[in-house]
A and B are shown apart, each in its own frame.
Chain A
């Protein structure tokens, strides 16, 4: 009796500690995106370098590609940039940029100064396409398959580890499909 009397509350307490510990480790910013498994929302936006030309997600049907949302005002984008340059240099998958709520000249000078990992960037001045893609914490990255379906979304900067363990294996798998 005396054993169980203390054992049960202690067991409950330990279980609670474990639960709270897990809760601390979870990142509340990692909101599960409802867009995964859904067709990439349609857009048709002017390009950053050539405002007279447009680009739409439909141009990419039949290819696996990465869409990366970035902005010159975004601090974590600076941290992410070398990772993107590496990914682009690897040549496994084309990266397209979505310049989000930025000034055109700021975006252009950013790419000039830090290198341009993108095949091209599109220019979303008022952030409308961003909202359609559920963007709330730049940078964000999407992997889109040949059928134009979003297969992966990362909120926050890509790291070499994420690229190696998640993005590249997924791209290879989708390429084979």
Chain B
């Protein structure tokens, strides 16, 4: 094998090793996976556009620890989420729950789409009507003349 190619190969083989190092040191990989999956769904309150999984803020770390601890105690995902919502409100959820105050959030886009369709349909039918009335007058007569005398004119 030529040397540059071997080096390149070595480089790519080494990449996953470097990746491993960044992973959180966890005693229990299954639990850790559960913690991180749930943390992906939760908002870090300090840096509000990051998830709890992404954030390095000390509070996010504390909250991940709490999540981990609760899960170790055998709490379900639902119970852990409820624990956080009780303290920080629905705001911690990236998927807001469906309730009276969030109806517009959930169905607003659909509503806008429906309005858009209604407007479009009205426009189209109006345009259709307008064309029909125009055709029924002088144009129709001219069209008939053109059709009748068309061949002779073209020649």
**What is the interface of chain A, defined by CB distance below 8 A to chain B?**
28-29, 31-35, 101, 126-127, 131-134, 136-137
Q: Secondary structure of the A side of the interface?
A: loop
**What is the interface of chain B, defined by CB distance below 8 A to chain A?**
45-46, 48, 58-59, 62-63, 66, 85-91
Q: Is the CB of A134 within 8 A of B88?
A: yes
When the two chains form the complex, which single residue of A101, A127, A132 contacts B87, counting CB atoms closer than 8 Å?
A: A132
| Chain B residues within an 8 Å CB radius of A29 | 48
Cα distance A134–B92 in the bound complex, in angstroms: 11
Q: Is the CB of A131 within 8 A of B46?
A: no
Closest-by-CB residue of A relative to B92 is A31
| Chain B residues within an 8 Å CB radius of A31 | 45, 88-89, 91
A-B contact pairs, 7 of them (CB 8 A): A33-B89, A34-B85, A34-B87, A101-B58, A131-B62, A134-B88, A136-B46
Cα distance A34–B90 in the bound complex, in angstroms: 8
Smallest CB separation, A42 vs chain B (Å): 13
When the two chains form the complex, which single residue of B46, B48, B62, B86 contacts A34, counting CB atoms closer than 8 Å?
A: B86
Closest-by-CB residue of A relative to B63 is A131
Q: Is the CB of B91 within 8 A of A131?
A: no
Q: Is the CB of A127 within 8 A of B62?
A: yes
| Chain B residues within an 8 Å CB radius of A137 | 45-46
Closest-by-CB residue of A relative to B89 is A34
| Chain A residues within an 8 Å CB radius of B58 | 101, 127
Cα distance A139–B91 in the bound complex, in angstroms: 19
Smallest CB separation, A153 vs chain B (Å): 11
Cα distance A75–B73 in the bound complex, in angstroms: 36
| Chain A residues within an 8 Å CB radius of B91 | 31-32
Q: Is the CB of B85 within 8 A of A136?
A: no
Smallest CB separation, A26 vs chain B (Å): 13
Smallest CB separation, A124 vs chain B (Å): 11
Q: Is the CB of B66 within 8 A of A131?
A: yes
Given A34-B89, A133-B87, A136-B88: A28 touches B66 (CB 8 Å cut-off): no
Given A28-B48, A136-B45, A136-B46: A35 touches B87 (CB 8 Å cut-off): yes
Q: Is the CB of A34 within 8 A of B88?
A: yes
Closest-by-CB residue of A relative to B57 is A136
| Chain B residues within an 8 Å CB radius of A134 | 87-89
Closest-by-CB residue of B relative to A38 is B86
Smallest CB separation, B70 vs chain A (Å): 11
Cα distance A40–B104 in the bound complex, in angstroms: 32
Cα distance A127–B89 in the bound complex, in angstroms: 18
Cα distance A159–B58 in the bound complex, in angstroms: 26
Smallest CB separation, A128 vs chain B (Å): 8
Smallest CB separation, B123 vs chain A (Å): 12
